[in-house]
Amino acid sequence: MSLPIGRRTLLAGGLAAAAAPLAAVPSPARAAAVPPLITQRADPFITPPVGGMYYFTGSVPEYDRLVVRGAPTITGLGTAAESVIWRRPTSGRMGGHIWAPELHRIDGRWYIYFAAGDAGEVFRIRMYVLESPHADPRDPAGWTLRGQIVTEWDSFSLDSTTFTHRGRRYLVWAQSEPEIAVNSSLYIAEMRNAWTLRTKPARIATPTRDWETRGYRVNEGPAVLIRNGRVFLAFSASATDARYCLGLLTADAAADLLNPASWVKTPTPVFTTNDQTGQYGPGHNSFTVAEDGVTDVLVYHARDYRDIVGDPLYDPNRHTRVQRLDWNPDGTPNFGVPHGGAGPVTATSR
């Protein structure tokens, strides 16, 4: 089926309802050399261990619900039972596409950050937060909606992530800022609490390079890793097909993170499609740490084929993959090439 509306058609004025996603399309015959950790789960997020458990969430192909699974090991997430902790309403606000959840433990409570469209306007995407006081985030009874994350502009916004640094909590997200002719740029702000901004947003990246503007002009999917005296922020760029890739922003750990001048963008992408390993469109990553408590792990989605029929957004075969994140002698991350699957990761220096 060919679907005419893509996730970023708002720049062309397209906010009409789209056809339902294709949830049961199998992968073509060509398979990846290494099987994925979890099939048909995009925008994957794996927490660091909490109480001896890893927890996973990600986008489902139907874009209609939020899911969580847990296991004592990263590999165990692949076969763990999945709990539906929230479903979109049948009408009105948040009744459209549900995208890119992240699960965070903050001050003894669980929070899920996610993006949602409205029924009838599935691409009217805004950011929302759910909260649970329960110890186990797989318990659906504990989740309540805290509301929308309100920013400077009532516009297309998604992919919020949060982190703490030097005693402050920050939110980073992607948004279409009025008067800027790109689909989405990256912004950062300090937070008052887990669902409210304290400061005005600072734009820290916008798509300008060739590898960020293929198909669409996109910076999105931020993920933060603080190591070696620096704050590293990986992000995704371009259309969600084989052109999708990861870029990297870097700031000194002592810098003012709300100052755009503190952030330096690596001029070339750091993680891209690889024909030799059969991985296409790797992106929308997160980071976790292996069971040894030392090894950094890259979590991402990718397809195992290049050619897609119709809109890539509705091709369901973006699979969750994991692999070790290595480190260069100068203390910067070395993403390597996408090849990860369900296998174990091993220790590395950083």
Active site positions, annotated: 43, 220
Type of residue numbered 7: R
What values do phi and psi take at 262, rounded to 5?
A: -75, -15
- 38 CA to centre of own chain: 15
Beta bridge partners of 205: 186
DSSP result, 51-98: TTBEEEEEE-TT--EEEEEEESSTGGGGTS-EEEEEE--SSSTT-S-E
CA distance 225 to 288: 9
Beta-strand relationship, 157-165 and 82-87: unpaired
- Cα angle for residues 178, 111, 259 (degrees, 5° grid): 45
CA dihedral 62→65→66→71, nearest 10 degrees, is: -70
CB atoms within 10 A of CB 277: 18
Cα 158 to chain center, whole Å?
9
Residue 270, class by beta-carbon neighbours within 10 Å (0-12 exposed, 13-18 middle, 19+ buried)?
middle
Beta bridge partners of 69: 56, 82
- Cα-flanking dihedrals φ and ψ of residue 9, to 5°? -75, 0
Distance CA 266, CA 42 (A): 25
Cβ contacts of 162 within 8 Å, gap of 6 or more: 102, 104, 106, 111, 113, 169, 170, 171, 172, 191, 194
- How many CB atoms neighbour CB 108 within 10 A? 7
Q: Residues near 328 by Cβ (< 8 Å), separated by ≥ 6?
A: 334
